Amino acid sequence: MITQNNLKVLLAELVGTFLLVFIGGGAGVAAALNGFSGGFGLLIAALAHGFALFLIVSVIGQISGAHVNPAVTISLAVIKKFSWSKVPQYIIAQFIGAFLATLAIIGIYGSKAVSVASASAPGLAANVSGMQGTLAEILGAFILIICVVAAAADSRLQLPNGWAGMVIGLGLAAAIFVAGPASGAGLNPALALSPYITSALFGGHVFAGEIPVYLFGPIIGGVVAALLYRYMADMNVVSATKRK
């Protein structure tokens, strides 16, 4: 059952994911339509996503935790920093927000957003196999989510106001710099797969065989990062001490 308070939290997740995809993905589409590719296009995408996530965490972090990524939600649930009962609701809200953002991008840039940039959907680079792309997504999500767990889930890390968003945003930008040239750096199943749906609706080509790369890669990388950080930082010991 969704209460009024839960509805506000889910709306925050929806809006946050919308902003991440609209700002980050929209910047990527704009860069592609204006002929920017290669290293400069990667720089634009990394900075746009990083700045967007910094803003999102700063604005809605106190409302919903600003997961805006199913891999983050699942990873936090695995280490018992988020309730499993809320996971499905969060993921649905994230996918809806991402889908609406891709519609907004097409609304601004028209059919070229689909034909030129696949509505911001990531894709494997030439000569990159599915396994290589999955590894890129795993390692990229690892970078992002170890920053999320350290900055937002470890109560001992007393960062000044606003710094958690900066750490997480920089983590995403760094991850895109690493994974982008291989996989397009989806690192977020909602961000990566919603453009596939939108592109298919508007007649774009969908690489269905790549969907598992962007669905499972970020979740695997995120869960490994969360478990590893929990082990290194003795988060279980801290929780037990607080309960006493």
Per-residue pLDDT of the chain (244 residues; tens, 9 = 90+): 667 779 999 999 999 999 999 999 999 999 999 988 788 999 999 999 999 999 999 999 999 999 999 999 999 999 999 999 999 999 999 999 999 999 999 999 998 898 888 888 899 999 999 999 999 999 999 999 999 999 999 988 777 788 899 999 999 999 999 999 999 999 999 999 998 888 888 877 767 789 999 999 999 999 999 999 999 998 875 444 343 3
| Interacting residues of 32 by C-beta distance below 8 A, sequence separation 6+ | 41, 116, 117
Please give the pLDDT value at position 37. Answer: 77
How many helices and strands (H and E) does the chain possess?
11, 0
Please give the pLDDT value at position 1. Answer: 61
Asked if residues 22 and 99 have their Cβ atoms less than 8 Å apart, the reply is: no
> Is 3.10.450.710 the CATH number for 4-243?
no
14: left (phi over 0), alpha (psi -120 to 50) or beta: alpha
Please give the pLDDT value at position 132. Answer: 97
Domain boundaries of the chain, sorted by first residue = 4-243
What burial letters (b/e) apply to 161-182, b meaning 16+ CB within 10 Å? eeebbbbbbbbbbbbbbbbbeb
Q: Could you give the count of Cα atoms lying within 13 Å of 133 in the half-sphere of its Cβ?
A: 21
Please give the pLDDT value at position 237. Answer: 55
Q: From CA 46, how far away is CA 25, in angstroms rounded? A: 10
